[in-house]
């Protein structure tokens, strides 16, 4: 039911904002994202039974963590692109560069986990453990749904299986 709510009230709108079209503009995208955030906040408040003060504090924690999340996402994207480019070189791939890319990707994952732990400690100051667990589940469902909308399967989402090429 939560996925249905998210897809009806927010994610379909956000997805539309991400598709280029004749009526797409930065202002339109910003307005759609703002509506999405408001609807998402309403769903979060209802599902977690948060008080107005808890919602205010949740917003503060999210704002504090957002810049760090974006930086980690950007670093991961750049590393994955570099790794992919190097691996695509086949036999001429620089093994040391590939090793560094892999090590750096692992470091980004470690920092993402550290960020999650810091976020959970901050949430523990004003949310119950059950509220925090429900919030984690909501975040995971939202992430999966957004990945599906972008055409990138997430954990547990169906993946397109490509059969191996026939051997002669």
Q: Is the dihedral of CA 100, 104, 110, 113 positive or negative?
A: negative
- Of the pLDDT bands very low, low, confident and very high (cuts 50, 70, 90), residue 128 is very high
pLDDT band at 106 (very low <50, low <70, confident <90, very high): very high
CB 5 within 8 A of CB 41: no
Residue 127: name the closest of 42, 56, 74, 63 by CA.
Answer: 56
pTM score above 0.75: no
Mean pLDDT computed over 106-114: 96
**pLDDT score recorded for residue 10:** 41
Cβ neighbours around 119 below 10 Å, total: 20
- What's the CA gap between 142 and 47, in Å, rounded? 14
């Amino acid at each position: 039911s939560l996925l249905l709510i998210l897809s009806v009230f927010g994610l379909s709108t956000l997805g539309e904002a991400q598709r280029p079209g004749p009526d797409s503009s930065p202002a339109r995208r910003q307005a759609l994202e703002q509506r999405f955030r408001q609807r998402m906040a309403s769903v979060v408040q209802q599902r977690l039974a948060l008080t107005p003060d808890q919602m205010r504090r949740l917003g503060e924690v999210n704002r504090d963590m957002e810049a760090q999340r974006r930086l980690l996402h950007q670093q991961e994207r750049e590393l994955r692109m570099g790794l992919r480019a190097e691996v695509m070189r086949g036999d001429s791939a620089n093994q040391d560069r590939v090793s560094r890319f892999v090590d750096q990707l692992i470091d980004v994952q470690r920092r993402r986990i550290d960020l999650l732990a810091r976020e959970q400690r901050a949430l523990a100051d004003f949310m119950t453990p059950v509220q925090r667990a429900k919030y984690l589940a909501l975040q995971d469902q939202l992430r999966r749904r957004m990945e599906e909308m972008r055409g990138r399967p997430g954990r547990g989402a169906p993946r397109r299986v490509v059969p191996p090429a026939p051997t002669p």
